[in-house]
Structure 1
Amino acid sequence: MLKNSKHFSCYSPPFQTRRNSFPKSRREILLEYVKNVQPEFMELFVVGAMRQTVTNMIGTLPPQFFAVTLTPVAENLAQLMYSIMMTGYMFQNAQYRLELQQGLEQPAALPDVQDKKDAPDYAPGTQKNVSGEVIRWNNVSGPERIDAKKYIELLEAEIEELNNQVGRKSSGGQNELL
């Protein structure tokens, strides 16, 4: 972001638009700081910076010596509050995206397929004393009736296939299903 910024330097005159407007050592220090700063600590930094900005705009006269009264123009105050709210939403959204990204980078805690086969919660095929029919929706022909035992067998076969897919994907070291 700094590489493409032409007017970033507050130390150079406004007519100077070269990429290397900072002396090399300051630029390197700033880039090193941006690369190494921990995003988790930026929230407190941002709150402090916004507090300091508002304090500087309002004034910092000591209250024990001065009685400061502010009379803002309603439109200007509304614009200031809107700007502060939007900045807060932007930083909150950035923090949320960072937490979400960090959460997605962690490996998913999926149950081990082998452990489930060794000690299943139920024995496949034991629900055979079920009677009746199940109505399921077919996208082409509409509702169709199927025997409950056959439907259980279809569901068990589908579960087995999904467990095999998860086993294949997780053995590759990645979880592309999620």
Structure 2
Amino acid sequence: MNNASNKISELFGDGAESGNLLWQYVQSMSPETVAQLSKPGSQEVFQVMERNIIGLLGGLPSEHFDVSITTSRENLGRLLASAMMSGYFLRNAEQRMAFERSLQDVPEVG
């Protein structure tokens, strides 16, 4: 197994509940923290995340198809890790955009 697979197995466990560090970490958080971390900072971030997850799962409209997705624990862990990394990236990009916009509003000195 490569290093990335080892990290995924370490985070999501290999079937043993005691080895599931991510689940233990999430359970240790207060409900307010989980709610805050689960909400995107803006509607734009929410829409990009939604499109990303739909792209990962497949884009068949559920109102016209009886869509059922089956996966393994490891693949679900990878999907979660991908969604989390995308969320971090988008949040950082959103913060950078806001910072750059605020700098444009600052009058030049000199």
For the superposition of Structure 1 and Structure 2, which TM-score range results when normalised by the shorter chain? 0.3 to 0.5
More strand by share: 1
Higher helix fraction (1 or 2): 2
Q: Normalization by structure 2: what TM-score?
A: 0.46
Higher relative contact order (CA 8 A, sep 6+): 2
Please say which structure displays the higher CA radius of gyration.
1
TM-score (norm 1): 0.31
